[in-house]
Structure 1
Amino acid sequence: MGITPFQALACPLDGEALIRSGNTWICPDGHSFDIAKQGYVNLLPVQQKRSHDPGDSKAMVAARQRFLDAGHYQPIAESVSNAVLSHAKVQTVDNLPFSCLDAGCGEGYYLRQLADAAANSPSLSLMGLDISKWAVLAAAKQDAKHSPLSSWVVGSNAHLPVQTETLDSVLCMFGFPVVSEFARVLKSGGALLLVEAGPDHLRELREVIYPTLKPERSAEAEVPKGFTYHSSERVSYSLGLNGSKEIADLLAMTPHLYRASAEGRARAATLEMLVVTVDARIVVYTRI
């Protein structure tokens, strides 16, 4: 039992296996990537960036950290941890650690919750990846408060810097799934957990910031290529937010901050209390 950082990283430039030498990751062709003093490595080459500073901003990351640390999404974290650990008990063989990637890990909340839940479970090998350097920096800083539990990597879901067929599980939490890449890095029988917003997710907030709500899409999604459907679970509950700061943090950590008009954001800023519905759907697929 125990938690260890995931080691099967791949060079983002040529896909070759990376080998750690001191505080540097090196591939056979000589490409090298230094581990920052905070404990993360940047494997996002310039040619994979769509902007100078992609992903969530420093302010968005700080808002998400405050909101999640307050426990507002704890029921989601518990359900995700239970799903991962149930697969770990079934799939762990030959005493090898069960490896799990959080693809779009933000500031690392869900991996930390998973590590805490795994005290009496099989060994885990964890990696958190995000395209935002601010998110990965925040995750690594919090991880460093105790012994490092995970590999923290700046990288893109579209080009995962992970060796092929080396992962037992991939999480994608309210993120941007790239199913072809997830299929590549997962072992046969590995689990893909997609956490998506349900039709009522944050409905009350959306009713404040938007003039009208768009019709909801069908909840029935196609099974991704290379996978079979395993199971799904809905996590739904009411959440009371007290004070304009908590409401502002919730808005700041969602895409609604940019989608809403200035008028919509101004209406949200006047609120001192809001009860919102949290509605998430956890769908599990198995790699063929």
Structure 2
Amino acid sequence: MSIAPFNRLTCPLDGAPLCRTESGWCCPQGHTFDVSRQGHVNLLPVQKKRSLDPGDSKAMIVARRRFLEAGHYQGIAEAVSRRVLAQAPEHDRLAVLDAGCGEGYYLRALADAGVVQHELALLGLDISKWAVQAAAGRDKRMQWVVGSNAALPVPDHSLDVVLCMFGFPTPAEFARVLKPGGLLLEVEAGPDHLIELREIIYPTLKAPREPRQTAEVGFSADTVETVRYALSLDSAEQIADLLVMTPHLYRASAEGRARAEALTHLDVTVDVQLTSSLRL
């Protein structure tokens, strides 16, 4: 397998194609975007931010990196890579966007999947600058961008695959950027995901969200695959990383967080759903 440069970016200010320059990217109207020393580019204009520091915090990214690199979600990464690579016939090239890439774990796993008959052009995008900095500092094979799922900086019908991993789906934007027949793969928590942790930190659990009954506009009917396995966390540090890397840290009460912090071992259920649909 070879990794090809991803160079089909668009200007976040006027939508025009961006061209690579010696120090960054530039559009025909003269808007320029510098490449950082880590290797990523910021395509989230300040006027389009909803806060000064949107997305996951630096602490969340550090915790998630430790947790994922320990292999706890390897089963999810393997399932995602299998589904993505099944999308391509032999010797075909896949342009893949991870929309909400975090620190890049799943995109790196895809690049390392070891299937030699595919050429991949990979783009990781996240609204968190901390996430993109961490991803770019770790792996230079992909193009890393600070940006928003609400206005993806790529041309219409230019992607073969869009991943949305535990993120914020924007179906209309995903439909815009995918080629006809392109794959949208959404990964979400299933009803029992981390249920043992949630029972500790919350007084009551919310009812599971009802599955989507109809396909999103512009997409085929959903196909759902479940990845489920038991996971043992054998230290207070691993349990803390799991809690810090998720929104549960901020949703739990102080008492619930204290109960979790007192643990030194926790068996949890990993239960995630991979929902595939094709662009019509």
TM-score per shorter chain, which class?
over 0.9
Distance 1:156 1:251 in 2: 25
Distance 2:65 2:260 in 1: 20
SS of aligned partner of 1:89: coil
Q: Which amino acid aligns with 2:210?
A: S
Q: How many residues align?
A: 280
- The 5 Å alignment of 1:35-46 reads 35-46=35-46
Equivalent pair of 2:149/2:170 in contact (CA under 8 Å) = yes
Q: Which residue of 2 aligns with 1:283?
A: 275
Distance 1:12 1:33 in 2: 10
Distance 2:212 2:54 in 1: 31
Is there any run of 5+ residues in structure 1 with no aligned partner, and where? none
Distance 1:242 1:154 in 2: 35
- The 5 Å alignment of 1:158-197 reads 158-197=150-189
SS of aligned partner of 1:117: coil
Q: Which amino acid aligns with 2:224?
A: S
1:74 matched to 2:70 = no
Q: Which amino acid aligns with 2:218?
A: G
Equivalent pair of 1:231/1:284 in contact (CA under 8 Å) = yes
User: Structure 1 residues 269-278 or 224-233, which shifts more?
Assistant: 224-233
TM-score, structure 2 as length reference: 0.97
The structural deviation recorded for 1:222 is: 2.7
Equivalent pair of 1:63/1:252 in contact (CA under 8 Å) = yes
The structural deviation recorded for 1:48 is: 1.3
Q: 1:141 aligns with which of 137, 140, 146?
A: 137
Q: Which amino acid aligns with 2:189?
A: A
Equivalent pair of 1:5/1:127 in contact (CA under 8 Å) = no
Is there any run of 5+ residues in structure 2 with no aligned partner, and where? none
Q: Which residue of 2 aligns with 1:208?
A: 200
Distance 1:255 1:4 in 2: 34
- The 5 Å alignment of 1:54-69 reads 54-69=54-69
Equivalent pair of 1:2/1:119 in contact (CA under 8 Å) = no
Question: What do residues 168-222 of structure 1 show as CA deviations (whole Å, max 9, x unaligned)?
Answer: 0000000000111111110111000000100000000000000011111222443
Q: Which aligned segments of 4 or more residues in structure 1 are displaced greater than 3 angstroms?
A: none
The structural deviation recorded for 1:89 is: 2.3
TM-score, structure 1 as length reference: 0.95
